[in-house]
Structure 1
Amino acid sequence: MKHIKALTTAVLIGATVLASGCSVMRHQETVGSYVDDATITTRVKAKFVEDKTVDAAAIKVETLNGAVQLSGFAKSAGEKAKAEALARNTDGVRSVRNNLEVRP
């Protein structure tokens, strides 16, 4: 079980770095900020994976200068609220924009 969790975390880190690599090239943030934001995104996604009430695969997390944006779909208003609460309670998060749509 620990190996699966470690593998999941590694995959999330890799996907986060690959998915958000363009922002540094477009000069939207410094390399240090980029690394911090990638770390925040990974932490939020890891919390989603750990919490069985949130479907981590259905929620996209993007971070820019500590501001987290959630997009995608939630199965209920409760799941949407839980995802936002998990993101808000993550180290380094300055604000959360919850753009999740509820689709049962």
Structure 2
Amino acid sequence: MTLFHKRLAIVAFPALMLAMAGFAQAATAEDAGKSIDQTVEKTGTTMDEAKESAGERTEKTGSYMDDSAITTKVKAEILGDPMLKVLQIHVTTTDGVVYLSGEVDSQQSIDRAKEVAEGVKHVKSVTSALVVKGAK
């Protein structure tokens, strides 16, 4: 091997090694980039799913709170009505539908309780299971 070849080998070998290392790093960097992209995509999907789930829970909770508020308002209106305040009328609300149950002293009381409940804001409908005392 001539001196020229030795010098070429001394210069070329490290250059070749650096080039190979660069390709390896480029491949590694590309793989890392792909991995990061995939992780970001999965995280975005997970975040979207979490937002949807949180929105559904909020919607359900909001509905429950609205139903609770409607029930409270209907009970207050019934207690504030001179014709109904002494009667035992049970009120429950599900998805804006008010359910009245219990015993009252006349058909007029049933009609009035339904009218009062229907007049409360956000009530979608009223279902009555009220019965007249002693009626069979």
TM norm structure 2: 0.53
Please give the secondary structure, in 1, of the residue aligned with 2:83: coil
Whole-angstrom distance in 2 between the partners of 1:41 and 1:69? 9
1:62-103 Cα distance to aligned partner (Å, 9 max, x none)? 000000000001110001100000001110100100110111
* AA in 2 matched with 1:38: S
1:24-103 maps to which residues of 2 (within 5 A)? 30-55=60-85, 58-103=88-133
Output the CA distance in 2 between the equivalents of 1:79 and 1:63. Answer: 20
Distance apart, 1:57 and its partner CA = 5.1
Q: How many residues align?
A: 77
Q: CA RMSD in A?
A: 1.8
2:94 maps to a residue whose letter is: L
Q: What letter is aligned with 2:106?
A: S
Query: C-alpha deviations, 1:13-64, integer Å up to 9, x for none?
Result: xxxxxxxxxxxxxx9x811100000000001000011101014651000000
Greater relative contact order (Cα < 8 A, sep 6+): 1
Question: Between Structure 1 and Structure 2, whose CA radius of gyration is higher?
Answer: 2
Determine the structure 2 residue equivalent to 1:8.
none
Q: Name structure 2 gaps, 5 residues minimum.
A: 1-56
Measured in 1, the distance between the counterparts of 2:93 and 2:86 equals 16
Moved runs in structure 1, 4+ residues, more than 6 A? none
Q: Which runs of no fewer than 5 residues in structure 1 stay unpaired?
A: 1-26
Judged with a 3 Å threshold, the aligned counterparts in structure 2 of structure 1 residues 92 and 72 are, in CA distance, closer, same or farther, namely same
* Partners of 2:106 and 2:132 within 8 A in 1: yes
Normalized against structure 1, the TM-score is what? 0.69
| Counterpart-to-counterpart distance in 1, 2:68 and 2:118 | 16
State the distance in 2 between where 1:56 and 1:30 align: 34
Distance 1:33 1:62 in 2: 13
